[in-house]
């Protein structure tokens, strides 16, 4: 047993850290929200370096890093305060195309995702289908060489920036097992019949939307995998998504900022002990994450369902850090509004990407056999 | 980075587990509790090489570190072993660190051979293992003392988790650099022991949720209970991670502050996980969880004690912040 990174891994971390120090523009750091152009600016800086899509196969622009290097890279991004790499194209849509797409689909979409030419969003949730995603109703009827899509998606992050949306739609409403009537479509956001309506969240920010589809025509060639096999794709993506959900680098940065900006408050034992407990939780999460990575590296197997705990603990820690910041902040001080906004904003983390209750269901069923 | 036990560690862990499963099940343990320890069990520990594991080859030992002992301590925690293994290991470590050549020669080889059990006193009260030890080890005026138990006045009692302990009418120091290092070693090992006890509590509770039927279904079909079981499981995994961290930092010979920080962080997490898991394991068992007849209630007591042994969460929160 050796919990330390190897010399090579440490050298790799230093290389990433040094590069970020020299290439991450100061004005992009620590921003809860960035305009599209700024997000793409950062995306393109990474793309030019060849680091925007580390997990892809090398032939499509991946780095060939192993899971530990990829983790180190992501942690360093978070720890440096870098904007997030918007996952919908690079991480999600690309993963689906690489696993299920035709050669033509890969050639058409992957280079544009890599270079930041297309901005993607994800069309999963619907007003009546949140945690129970398989109940989704947005329907796609085949006519000539097209699907005619009608329905509504909700909570669509950055749909107002997006050029494309990948959607789960119902192509067969008659099957008994509803998972078997779903397909995975790629839809051009400029298609006639699409309307995007902003949803303003309680922190006052606009990041999510409703997306309405009104007789939207989608060429059949934009379907990924077989018709009615969309649930297989969705499940694959879910497994793919669950690693690196702990936001460890980001939380380390928040913790350090919290300590640095509240030197006096550290003398308050009640606050200090709460902070220490969160710090210890974060240490434990980091080691737990490394244990999972070590297991993946050793067995060559994809992550098991138990990695859902990374999302549960990671988001609980993110929220706890915002609570500590609130507790330390003077309500009347000028900087406090930002802290309050972040407190409000972070409430979403235990809800999105499979609520923490759904994550617990996953562990209960898949890992514990309940 | 690698979280695997090496082949030797794995083999040892397997043979310890096999022995405990065969000769230290809940019923056999009951018989041992009467006396406080079993000579036969101790002889097997020596045969398996456990008594020599952390000691230098100079005395016939294997020179193992905290990580080498981790899997043993986990297995002991799972089986709720009561023999004074940790007290012996810690007292021997203190002698190896601060004892005179004579003390080392007269005691350590005998420990390795399983002929001698020790206890480490850091004060007059609650010296664990003292009533069943041959020699009591302590510090006075910075100097290590090793005194035959029979020459001391002992007031024996049992701890909440059924260990033989005693108050001793004497003075012993509770802190100096050598002793602090030994106590951190002990704290890290107690983290591993707690992880083993947590594993049993989680496993047995999960089994109960799958077999206990009410309202015509296994109670594990209820989401309210499923989520509590998942939180126990997560608390166990997080605790295990911290035990790994604490033990490997002990072995890494990094600076003292780093080591102490990792141990305190481990103790804080283990204390919190131990409380959650012990309480929930009893609650999810319902009335049966309260019963002496079920091992889970004994595990509850062991976890309650381990959360506080070598300093409770408050003490380690204070130390963590001071480092």
Tell me whether residues B321 and A276 touch, CB distance under 8 A.
yes
Write down the catalytic residue from A74, A75, A126, A241.
A241
A131 φ, ψ (degrees, to nearest 5): -60, -35
Q: What would the mean pLDDT of A132-140 be, rounded to a whole number?
A: 96
Residue B138: which region, alpha, beta or left (left: phi > 0; alpha: psi -120 to 50)? beta
**Chain B residues contacting A via beta carbons under 8 Å:** 1-6, 9, 67, 70, 206, 209-210, 220-221, 223, 226-227, 229-231, 233-234, 237-239, 241-242, 244-245, 247-248, 252, 265, 268-269, 272, 314, 317, 320-321
Residue ranges covered by each domain of chain A: 7-85, 120-229, 242-367
Asked if A1 is an interface residue toward chain B (Cβ–Cβ < 8 A), one would say yes
* Percentage of the residues of chain A whose pLDDT score is greater than 90: 90
* B241: nearest CB among A5, A287, A363: A287
C-beta of residue B118 within 8 angstroms of C-beta of residue B51: no
* B317: nearest CB among A1, A276, A291: A276
C-beta of residue A32 within 8 angstroms of C-beta of residue B279: no
Rg value, chain B, Cα: 20
Does A241 participate in catalysis according to the annotation?
yes
- B chain contacts of residue A294, beta-carbon cutoff 8 Å: 1-4
Bridge-based pairing of strands A120-123 and A164-170 is parallel
Q: What CATH number matches the domain at A242-367, 3.40.1190.20, 3.30.200.20, 3.20.20.70, 1.20.140.10?
A: 1.20.140.10
Asked if A313 is an interface residue toward chain B (Cβ–Cβ < 8 A), one would say yes
Taken in order of first residue, the domains within chain B and their CATH numbers are 7-168 (1.10.540.10), 177-322 (1.20.140.10)
- Smallest CA–CA distance, residue B230 to chain A, in Å, is 6
**CA separation (Å) from B145 to A94, B86, B155, B175?**
68, 19, 20, 14
- Smallest CA–CA distance, residue A368 to chain B, in Å, is 8
C-beta of residue A139 within 8 angstroms of C-beta of residue A169: yes
CATH for the stretch A120-229: 2.40.110.10
pLDDT category of residue A1 using cuts at 50, 70 and 90: confident
**CA separation (Å) from A53 to A73, A160, B213?**
11, 23, 50
Tell me whether residues A306 and B237 touch, CB distance under 8 A.
yes
CA distance B180 to B260: 9
CA distance B36 to B163: 7
- Smallest CA–CA distance, residue B35 to chain A, in Å, is 37
Asked if A284 is an interface residue toward chain B (Cβ–Cβ < 8 A), one would say yes
Closest to B137 measured CA to CA, from B177, B97, B196: B97
DSSP tag of A129 = B
Chain mean pLDDT for chain B: 97
Where does chain A have alpha helices with state H? Answer: 7-23, 36-49, 67-79, 87, 94-100, 103-115, 230-241, 248-260, 269-299, 308-328, 336-346, 356-362
Q: Which helix (H) or strand (E) holds A197?
A: strand A194-200
Q: What would the mean pLDDT of A259-266 be, rounded to a whole number?
A: 96
Answer yes or no: is pLDDT of A201 > 70. yes
* A277: nearest CB among B210, B252, B268: B268
User: What integer pLDDT is reported at residue A159 of this predicted model?
Assistant: 98
pLDDT tens digits along B198-246 = 999 999 999 999 999 999 999 999 999 999 999 999 999 999 999 999 9
C-beta of residue A165 within 8 angstroms of C-beta of residue A123: yes
- A chain contacts of residue B317, beta-carbon cutoff 8 Å: 272-273, 276-277
Sheet holding B135-140, edge to edge: B118-120, B135-140, B143-148
CA distance A263 to B67: 36
Q: How many CB atoms lie within 10 A of CB B164?
A: 24
Instruction: Spell out a b/e string for A50-85, using b for 16 or more CB atoms within 10 Å of the CB, else e.
Output: ebbbbbbeeebbbbeeebbbbbbbbbbbbbbbbbeb
| Adjacent-strand bridge partners of A123 | A167
Q: Which helix (H) or strand (E) holds A188?
A: strand A182-188
Tell me whether residues A3 and B223 touch, CB distance under 8 A.
no
Tell me whether residues A290 and B248 touch, CB distance under 8 A.
no
CA distance A355 to A155: 13
CATH 3.40.50.740 corresponds to the domain A7-85:
no
Answer yes or no: is pLDDT of A315 > 90. yes
C-beta of residue A319 within 8 angstroms of C-beta of residue A344: no
Tell me whether residues A4 and B1 touch, CB distance under 8 A.
yes
* Percentage of the residues of chain A whose pLDDT score is greater than 70: 99
Q: How many A-B residue pairs are in contact by the CB < 8 A criterion?
A: 115
**CA separation (Å) from B44 to B3, B88, B163?**
28, 15, 19
Answer yes or no: is pLDDT of A349 > 80. yes
CA distance A308 to A311: 5
User: What integer pLDDT is reported at residue A278 of this predicted model?
Assistant: 98
Tell me whether residues A369 and B233 touch, CB distance under 8 A.
no
Q: Which of B68, B209, B221, B230 to mutate to test the interface with A (most CBs of A within 10 A)?
A: B230
Instruction: Spell out a b/e string for B182-218, using b for 16 or more CB atoms within 10 Å of the CB, else e.
Output: bbbbbbbbbbbbbbbbbbbbbebbbebbeeeeeeeeb
Task: Check for a shared fold between A120-229 and A242-367.
Answer: no
Tokens linked to A201: 């969240």
Q: How many CA atoms lie within 13 A of A329 on its CB side?
A: 21
pLDDT category of residue A324 using cuts at 50, 70 and 90: very high
Tell me whether residues B317 and A370 touch, CB distance under 8 A.
no
* B233: nearest CB among A272, A294, A363: A363
pLDDT tens digits along B132-145 = 999 999 999 999 99
User: What integer pLDDT is reported at residue A243 of this predicted model?
Assistant: 65
- Smallest CA–CA distance, residue A136 to chain B, in Å, is 23
User: What integer pLDDT is reported at residue B1 of this predicted model?
Assistant: 82
pLDDT category of residue B34 using cuts at 50, 70 and 90: confident
Tell me whether residues B230 and A360 touch, CB distance under 8 A.
yes
pLDDT tens digits along A22-72 = 999 999 999 988 999 999 999 999 999 999 999 999 999 999 999 899 999
- A chain contacts of residue B226, beta-carbon cutoff 8 Å: 360-361, 364, 368, 370
* Percentage of the residues of chain B whose pLDDT score is greater than 70: 100
Rg value, chain A, Cα: 21
Asked if A366 is an interface residue toward chain B (Cβ–Cβ < 8 A), one would say no
Asked if A323 is an interface residue toward chain B (Cβ–Cβ < 8 A), one would say no
* Percent of residues in chain A assigned helix, strand, coil, to nearest 5: 55, 15, 30
């Amino acid at each position: 047993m050796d919990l330390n990174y190897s010399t090579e891994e440490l050298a790799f971390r230093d290389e990433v850290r040094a590069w970020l120090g020299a290439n991450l523009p100061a004005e992009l750091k620590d921003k809860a929200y960035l305009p599209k152009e700024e997000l793409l600016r950062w995306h393109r800086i990474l793309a030019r370096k060849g680091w925007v899509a580390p997990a892809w196969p090398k032939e499509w622009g991946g780095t060939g890093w192993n899971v530990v290097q990829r983790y180190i890279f992501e942690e360093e991004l978070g720890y440096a305060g870098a904007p997030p790499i918007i996952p919908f194209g690079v991480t999600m849509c690309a993963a689906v195309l690489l696993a299920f797409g035709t050669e033509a689909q890969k050639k058409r979409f992957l280079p544009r995702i890599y270079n930041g030419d297309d901005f993607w969003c994800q069309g999963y949730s619907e007003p009546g289908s949140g945690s129970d995603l398989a109940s989704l109703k947005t329907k796609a009827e085949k006519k000539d060489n097209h699907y005619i899509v009608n329905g509504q998606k909700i909570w669509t992050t950055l749909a107002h920036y997006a050029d494309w949306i990948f959607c789960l739609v119902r192509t067969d409403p008659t099957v008994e097992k509803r998972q078997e009537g779903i397909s995975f479509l790629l839809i051009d956001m400029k298609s006639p019949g699409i309307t995007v309506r902003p949803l303003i969240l309680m922190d006052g920010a606009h990041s999510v939307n409703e997306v309405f589809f009104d007789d939207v025509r989608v060429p059949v060639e934009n379907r990924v995998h077989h018709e009615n096999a969309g649930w297989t794709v969705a499940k694959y993506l879910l497994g793919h998504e669950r690693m690196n959900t702990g936001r460890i680098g980001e939380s380390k940065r928040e913790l350090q900022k919290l300590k640095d900006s509240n030197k006096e408050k550290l003398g308050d034992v009640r606050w200090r002990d709460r902070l220490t407990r969160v710090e210890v939780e974060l240490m434990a999460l980091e080691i737990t994450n490394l244990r999972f990575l070590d297991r993946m590296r050793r067995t060559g197997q994809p992550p098991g369902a138990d990695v859902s705990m990374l999302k549960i603990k990671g988001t609980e820690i993110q929220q706890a850090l915002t609570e500590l910041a609130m507790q330390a902040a003077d309500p009347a001080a000028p900087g406090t509004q930002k802290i309050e906004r972040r407190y409000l904003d972070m409430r979403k983390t235990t809800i999105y990407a499979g609520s923490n209750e759904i994550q617990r269901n996953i562990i209960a069923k898949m890992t514990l056999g309940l | 980075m690698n979280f695997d036990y090496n082949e030797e560690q794995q083999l040892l862990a397997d043979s310890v587990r096999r022995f405990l499963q065969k000769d230290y099940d809940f019923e056999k343990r009951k018989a041992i509790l009467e006396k406080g320890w079993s000579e036969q069990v101790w002889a097997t520990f020596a045969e398996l090489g456990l008594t020599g594991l952390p000691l230098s080859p100079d005395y016939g030992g294997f020179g193992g570190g905290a990580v080498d002992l981790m899997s043993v301590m986990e297995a002991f925690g799972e089986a709720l072993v009561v023999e004074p293994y940790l007290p012996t290991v810690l007292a021997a470590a203190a002698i190896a660190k601060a004892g005179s050549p004579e003390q080392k020669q007269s005691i350590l080889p005998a420990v390795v051979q399983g002929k001698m059990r020790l206890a480490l006193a850091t004060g007059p009260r609650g010296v664990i293992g003292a009533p069943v030890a041959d020699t009591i080890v302590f510090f006075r005026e910075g100097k290590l003392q090793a005194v035959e138990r029979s020459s001391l006045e002992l007031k024996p009692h049992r701890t909440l988790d059924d260990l033989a302990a005693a108050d001793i009418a004497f003075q012993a120091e509770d802190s100096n650099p050598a002793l602090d290092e030994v106590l951190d070693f002990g704290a890290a090992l107690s983290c591993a022991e707690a992880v083993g006890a947590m594993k049993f509590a989680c496993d047995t509770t999960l089994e109960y949720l799958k077999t206990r039927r009410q309202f015509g279904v296994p109670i594990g079909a209820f989401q309210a209970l499923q989520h509590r079981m998942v939180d126990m499981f997560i608390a166990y995994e997080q605790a295990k991670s911290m035990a790994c961290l604490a033990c490997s930092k002990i072995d890494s010979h990094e600076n003292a502050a780093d080591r102490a920080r990792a141990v305190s962080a481990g103790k804080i997490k283990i204390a919190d996980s131990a409380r959650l898991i012990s309480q929930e394991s009893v609650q999810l068992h319902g009335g049966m969880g309260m019963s002496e007849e079920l091992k889970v209630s004994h595990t509850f007591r062991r976890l309650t004690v381990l959360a506080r042994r070598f300093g409770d969460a408050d003490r380690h929160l204070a130390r963590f912040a001071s480092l």
